[in-house]
Amino acid sequence: MCAQKDMLMNEMHKRPGQPATEQLSRDTTFMNAEWLASLSHELRNPLAAIKGYTTLLLRHHGQLSSEEQYELLQSIASGSDQLAYVINMLQEVADFEANLVVFHPLSIDINQLIHDVVMDMQRDNQPKGIAQRAIQISLTPLTNQSEKWLISADQILLRRLLFYLLENAHKFSPEQNPINITTMRFSPAASNTLPEYLRYDPAFLQQPLLELRIQDKGIGIPAEDLESIFERFQRVNLTLTREVNGLGLGLTLCKYIVALHHGLIWAESTLGTGSTFHVLLPAN
């Protein structure tokens, strides 16, 4: 999945235009020892691979077949991709928090975008990638007349949002379980399903809203963590989570992206059964 990650990362940075004026919420979580240990692990592992394979190549390059050399170079490239991914993610959080991310809303067809992101992620056939996963997409058209769900959104940022949510659904659920992606119109009558901790103006629910759901049948999230996982560096303290690489930044970035779109994001989950991430976006 690394080439796809890299492409998405590079798309966002250094975009011309005015900085977004939206004041993003900032949490004051300090980097704790556990997080620093995760960061050093995320940096040290690919670095060790790059160093190890480069040393092998330098020491034995006369004796290695071209296939062996090619394999070593592939491992070096994949380690470099991983390293770039971690560094880019840190940079991305820093850019959001310094209000440097440029917001370019355009009229986009969200259903088309979902298909494109899924296809891109499945095409990128990395060993632990999403290519073999069944992804069920159920997209409700906006009206009977139109197949399209046109919303005003920043295409690059929305691609990132989908990428992070799908990547988590993939990382935290067994390979054989499908992931469901659904879009529908959000009914104000369903406002009692929103968690109490979400802050929004009641007028928000009176406008046409698109609801996007990404549902997995994975390890699930304990109820007491459903709010905090959107804060920086927060990961659920389950043995199963600790087996999966990550820094606890993807959902923070999702929260920032949704805030720029004046939307809402939250998760519901049953431990051991699966999780659903909901995103509400203004649809006019």
Which residues lie near ligand ADP (CB under 6 A)?
Answer: 164, 168-169, 172, 216, 218-219, 221, 229, 234-236, 241, 246-252, 275
Q: Least distance from C-beta 59 to ligand ADP, angstroms?
A: 35
In the bound state, the residue with its beta carbon closest to ligand ADP is 246
Exposed / middle / buried, residue 110 (Cβ in 10 Å: 0-12, 13-18, 19+): buried
Residues whose CB is less than 8 angstroms from the CB of residue 253 and which lie 6 or more positions away in sequence, other chains included: 89, 92, 93, 96, 160, 161, 164
The two structure tokens encoding residue 174: 């067994």
d(CA 43, CA 251): 20
Q: Least distance from C-beta 90 to ligand ADP, angstroms?
A: 12
Q: Least distance from C-beta 187 to ligand ADP, angstroms?
A: 25
In the complex with ligand ADP, the residue whose CB is nearer, 57 or 226, is 226
Q: Least distance from C-beta 212 to ligand ADP, angstroms?
A: 14
In the complex with ligand ADP, the residue whose CB is nearer, 162 or 251, is 251
In the complex with ligand ADP, the residue whose CB is nearer, 161 or 281, is 161
Q: Least distance from C-beta 244 to ligand ADP, angstroms?
A: 7
Residues whose CB is less than 8 angstroms from the CB of residue 162 and which lie 6 or more positions away in sequence, other chains included: 113, 114, 117, 214
The two structure tokens encoding residue 248: 């606890």
In the complex with ligand ADP, the residue whose CB is nearer, 129 or 248, is 248
> CA end-to-end span of the chain, whole Å?
33
